């Protein structure tokens, strides 16, 4: 399935007609599908290539060296999480993956810095941490532009999200699905789930496998061209818009048997606001036909609840 493609250059062009066209295309796609492919997203190809190169070097390290970067008590929010620790909400089966998470670096004296653990530097791969820091900022910039467009589509001020996502609790996650070495119990590498955050930006997974659940209840493989990133709605944005924008269920399936010997790498950026942001349904999204579907909660409260549900927090 080719998901709708939008061109971020239209939004940033300075041309009001192109900008409004982008807003309309993005909003309609998020109401209908929940996923888009974005071209001219502003994340340089060479940075993406470096990111994957150093990620692969990290996951090639011996297990005991990787486990040196696994910090108890952080609920996987920084550093390494070993194979089989996370599972989808409502599923007991662990996902067949290991991952590394890199978070916000507060550089302007914002007191929110106290809420965030320090990032964990990887010593064995010297370029890993600086590359993650640079990529994190590039994803943030692209994500903030997309949120501006979403705000306009919802008839909000263009900068509605700006103060909430500045120094927000976003996460850059590098995922490794190792080769399959024996008959798996399931055809699924990562069980069906929805993302927790506002939007997710996914750049260049190294192999096919991502599928989304359509409104017709069919699983469809998602592909995008190499110069595009895939961006989907998360549950926080779905809550905020009272289900107007769709947080689409998705999963990662095992490759064909002849590809079992290969690894799959994936690097999503989960764009989160600050923990204090209210996710109370927008008044403009609530009416007699669409009564309020969710209780009020802050982003921090909701994240905490979900981390417990997926097994990362006790």
For residue 185, report the phi and psi dihedrals to the nearest 5 degrees: -70, -25
Paired sense of beta strands 219-221 and 210-213, if any: antiparallel
Contact 303, 204 (CB under 8 A): no
128-153 helix and 45-59 helix, angle to the nearest 10 degrees: 130
The alpha carbons of the chain give a radius of gyration, in whole angstroms, of 19
pLDDT band at 172 (very low <50, low <70, confident <90, very high): very high
For residue 40, report the phi and psi dihedrals to the nearest 5 degrees: 50, 45
Per-residue pLDDT, 310: 65
Please write the tens of the pLDDT for every residue from 120-144: 999 999 999 999 999 999 999 999 9
Give the mean model confidence (pLDDT) for residues 146-165. Answer: 97
> Which sign, positive or negative, has the C-alpha torsion 217, 194, 301, 141?
negative
Q: What is the CATH number of domain 5-309?
A: 2.60.120.330
Paired sense of beta strands 250-253 and 5-7, if any: unpaired
User: Which of these, 10, 19, 48, 26, lies nearest to 202 by C-alpha position?
Assistant: 48
User: Which of these, 252, 313, 308, lies nearest to 95 by C-alpha position?
Assistant: 252
Give the mean model confidence (pLDDT) for residues 288-292. Answer: 95
Per-residue pLDDT, 184: 65
Per-residue pLDDT, 206: 47
Query: Among residues of the chain, what percentage have pLDDT more than 90?
Result: 66
* pLDDT of 235 above 60: yes
d(CA 34, CA 75): 27
User: Which of these, 238, 249, 232, lies nearest to 285 by C-alpha position?
Assistant: 238
Per-residue pLDDT, 87: 63
> What DSSP line would sit under 5-23, residue for residue?
EEEHHHHTSS-HHHHHHHH
Per-residue pLDDT, 232: 93
The model's pTM: 0.92
* pLDDT of 243 above 80: yes
């Amino acid at each position: 399935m080719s998901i709708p493609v939008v061109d971020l250059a239209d939004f940033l062009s300075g041309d009001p007609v192109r900008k409004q066209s982008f807003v309309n295309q993005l909003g309609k796609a998020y109401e209908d599908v929940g996923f888009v492919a974005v071209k001219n997203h502003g994340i340089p190809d060479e940075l993406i290539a470096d990111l994957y190169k150093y990620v692969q070097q990290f996951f090639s390290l011996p297990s005991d060296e990787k486990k040196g970067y696994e910090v108890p008590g952080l609920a996987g929010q920084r550093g390494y999480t070993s194979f089989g620790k996370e599972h989808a909400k409502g599923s007991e089966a662990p996902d067949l993956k290991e991952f590394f998470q890199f978070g916000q670096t507060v550089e302007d004296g914002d007191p929110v810095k106290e809420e965030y653990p320090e990032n964990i530097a990887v010593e064995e791969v010297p370029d890993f941490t600086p590359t993650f820091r640079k990529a994190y900022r590039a994803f943030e910039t692209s994500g903030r532009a997309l949120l501006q467009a979403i705000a306009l589509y919802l008839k909000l001020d263009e900068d509605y999200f700006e103060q909430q996502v500045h120094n927000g609790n976003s996460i850059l996650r590098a995922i490794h699905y190792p080769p399959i070495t024996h008959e798996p119990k399931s055809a699924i590498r990562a069980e069906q789930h929805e993302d927790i955050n506002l939007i997710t930006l996914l750049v260049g997974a190294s192999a096919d496998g991502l599928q989304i659940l359509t409104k017709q209840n069919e699983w469809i493989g998602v592909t995008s061209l190499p110069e595009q990133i895939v961006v989907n709605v998360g549950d926080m944005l779905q809550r905020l818009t009272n289900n107007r924008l769709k947080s689409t269920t998705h999963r990662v399936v095992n490759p064909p048997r002849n590809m079992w010997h290969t690894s799959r790498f994936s690097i999503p950026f989960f764009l989160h606001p600050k923990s204090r942001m209210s996710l109370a349904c927008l008044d403009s999204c609530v009416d007699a036909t669409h009564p309020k579907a969710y209780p009020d909660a802050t982003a921090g409260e909701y994240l905490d609840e979900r981390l417990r549900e997926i097994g990362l927090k006790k």
